[in-house]
C-alpha cells in the first residue's frame, strides 16, 4: 500500500467544489495545489462522484469529464454521466461513439478565425466525439486524415485497488454495494 503525505484530509466540501470548478483561487492555491497531497483524494473524489451519478453501479475510476469506468452485473462498462453505456471497458469507447470530422477550411472556420486554422492542403482533421445518448462532446482528436483511432487510457483497475489501495475494487468486494 502506498504511503501518503501526513496532511490532514482535505475537506470533503472543498473537493466537491473542486470537482464543480467552483473552488476559489485562494483555497485552490493555498489548500489544494501545494504538496503534500491529500492521501484520500481518490476515494473522496470517487464517493462524491458516486453520490452525484444517477445509478448504483460503483464508479471504479473517472476516465474523463463525462465518462466513467463502472462495475455492473454485466461486467465493467464505460458509461457517460447521462447514463448511456458505450461498451465493455475492454473495448475502445470511441468505437461506440458518434463522430463529426472537420477537415474543410469552412468547417474549421466555425471554430477558429480565417488564417488560424490548419491549411486545407494538408488534410488535417478535428474529430469531435459525442455521446450517442446526450450528445455531449466527450473528446476531440487533432490528427491527419486516415490516422488510426487510438485509446488514450487503458487503466489497470485491479492493480490500482489491490496493490496501491490494499483492497479489491468496489465491484470485486464480497457483497459490497457501493
Partner 1 sequence: MSIENERVAGEKRRVREDGDEIGWDGRSLQEMLRETEALTEETGRYRGLERLEMKEESRFEYERLYSRLRGALVSARETALHVSASPIVREIGELCFQIYTPEGDSIAVSTGIIVHVHTGSLAIKWMIEQDYEHDRGIEPGDIFCNNDNDLGNVHTTDVHTIVPIFHDGELVAWADGVTHEIDIGGMSAGHTSPVHTRRFEDGIYATCEKVGKDDERFQDWKVRGERSTRTPQYWDLDEKCRIAGCHMIREAVHDIIDDVGAETFKQFTREAVEEGRQTMESRVQERLFPGTYQSTSFAAMPFEEEGWKPEQQRDHLIHLPVEMEVETDGTMSVDMEGASPQGDHSFNAAEGSMTGGLWVSMTQCLLHDGKVNDGSHIALDTNFPEGSITNPDDPQLSFHAPWGTIMPTFQSVWQNVSQGFFSRGFREEVVTGYSETSDTLQGGGTLMESMAQLIPDEVGDYYPIGPFDLSCQGLGASAVRDGLDWGYAMWNPESDMGDIEEWELTQWGTQYLSRQVKTDSAGHGKYRGGSGWEGVMTFMGNDEASLLKTAQPDVTFSVAGMSGGYPGSTKYAVRAHDTDLQARARQEEPYPVGDTPPGTFEEDIDGDIVRTERGTYFPKQFDNYDLVHFQMGGGPGWGDPLDRPVEKVVEDVEDQIFSPGTVEDVYGVVGEFDEDTLDFEIDEDATDEARERIRERRDAESMTYDEFFDQERQRVAEADVSDQVATMYEEVFDISEAFAEEFEAFWGTKGGLG
Piece of 50-58, 71-79, 105-113, 167-175 that binds partner 1 (CB under 8 A): 105-113
Query: Shortest gap between Cβ of 171 and partner 1 (angstroms)?
Result: 16
> Distance between CA 137 and CA 120 in Å, rounded?
24
- Helix, strand or coil, per DSSP, at residue 10: coil
- Name 76's Cβ contacts closer than 8 Å, sequence gap at least 6: 60, 69, 70, 88, 89, 90, 157, 171
CA distance 63 to 79: 10
Task: Round to whole Å and give the CA distance between 56 and 13.
Answer: 22
Beta carbon of residue 43, minimum distance to partner 1 (angstroms, whole number): 8
* Interaction between residue 167 and partner 1 (CB under 8 A): no
Give the per-residue contact string, 57-76, with partner 1 (x = CB under 8 A; - = no).
----xxxxxx----------
Q: How many residues bind partner 1 (CB under 8 A)?
A: 80
Q: What distance, in Å, lies between the first and last C-alpha atoms of the chain?
A: 22
Among 12, 75, 90, 112, binds partner 1 (CB under 8 A): 112
Minimum CB separation of residue 74 from partner 1 in Å reads: 21
Contacts (CB under 8 A) with partner 1, residues 116-155: 116-119, 121-124, 126-130, 135-155
Amino acid at each position: 500500500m502506498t504511503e501518503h503525505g501526513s496532511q490532514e484530509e482535505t475537506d470533503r466540501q472543498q473537493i466537491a467544489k473542486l470537482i464543480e470548478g467552483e473552488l476559489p483561487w485562494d483555497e485552490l492555491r493555498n489548500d489544494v495545489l501545494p504538496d503534500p497531497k491529500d492521501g484520500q483524494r481518490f476515494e473522496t473524489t470517487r464517493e462524491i462522484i458516486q453520490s452525484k451519478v444517477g445509478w448504483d453501479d460503483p464508479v471504479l475510476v473517472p476516465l474523463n469529464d463525462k465518462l466513467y469506468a463502472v462495475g455492473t452485473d454485466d461486467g465493467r462498462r464505460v458509461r457517460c454521466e447521462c447514463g448511456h453505456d458505450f461498451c465493455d471497458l475492454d473495448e475502445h469507447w470511441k468505437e461506440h461513439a458518434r463522430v463529426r470530422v472537420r477537415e474543410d477550411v469552412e468547417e474549421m472556420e466555425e471554430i477558429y478565425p480565417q488564417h488560424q486554422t490548419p491549411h486545407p492542403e494538408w488534410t488535417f482533421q478535428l474529430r469531435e466525439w459525442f455521446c450517442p445518448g446526450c450528445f455531449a462532446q466527450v473528446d476531440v482528436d487533432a490528427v491527419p486524415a486516415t490516422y488510426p483511432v487510438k485509446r488514450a487510457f487503458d487503466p489497470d483497475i485491479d492493480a490500482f485497488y489491490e496493490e496501491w489501495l490494499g483492497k479489491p475494487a468496489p465491484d470485486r468486494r464480497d457483497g459490497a454495494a457501493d
